[in-house]
Amino acid sequence: MKSYKAETNFKSNFIIRLCVMMVFSVALVIIQDFPWFLVLIIPIFIAPLVWGFSQIHKNVSYIILGENLSIQGTSISSVNKIIDIKTVWKISRCSNFLATGTDRATAPDSKALEIFYNKYETIKVSPKNESDFIKDLLEINPNIQVIV
């Protein structure tokens, strides 16, 4: 059994999400003709929510048990996913901080690895030690195509 903790890059995630929120606030003010002071008030009320959602994924871990990859997280939305490593066919770099793929809730960092498994399923992971994580997966399934 090998265990990997998730890499969390809280500052960049929080700043990026706060900037996106500011852009939407400005767009809302321009489109809806709201008063300009709302550009400052909206982020003041929304920032704690953004911070809270950034903390949800703090305890995500990836555990290799035999031929299975277990992804576990203790958060508001508890994550417990088991993937047969023999079904993994590709691992690639993913730097998208928006929720894409079939399961984003497992990668708290904005720079994650995307694991393609089965036929159409993907999951994003962000282990602290990516090279050892990939090496351990390749020991179990050497047919995995790695693009990083």
CATH number at residue 80: 2.30.29
Of 61, 86, 93, the closest CA to residue 75 belongs to 61
What is the tally of structural domains in the chain? 1
The residue that leads in pLDDT, 101 or 21, is 21
Domain containing 4: what range? 1-148
Q: What is the pLDDT of residues 102-139, one digit of tens each?
A: 555 566 666 788 999 998 898 888 888 999 999 999 99
Given this model, what pLDDT does residue 80 score? 82
Q: What is the pLDDT of residues 78-107, one digit of tens each?
A: 678 899 999 999 999 887 655 555 555 566
Q: Assess whether pLDDT exceeds 60 at residue 24.
A: yes
Contacts of 139 (CB under 8 A, 6+ apart): none
Q: Which of 25-34, 45-54, 57-66, 122-131 has the lowest mean pLDDT?
A: 45-54
Given this model, what pLDDT does residue 103 score? 56
Given this model, what pLDDT does residue 35 score? 75
Inter-residue contact 55 to 109 (CB < 8 Å): no
Amino acid identity, position 30: I
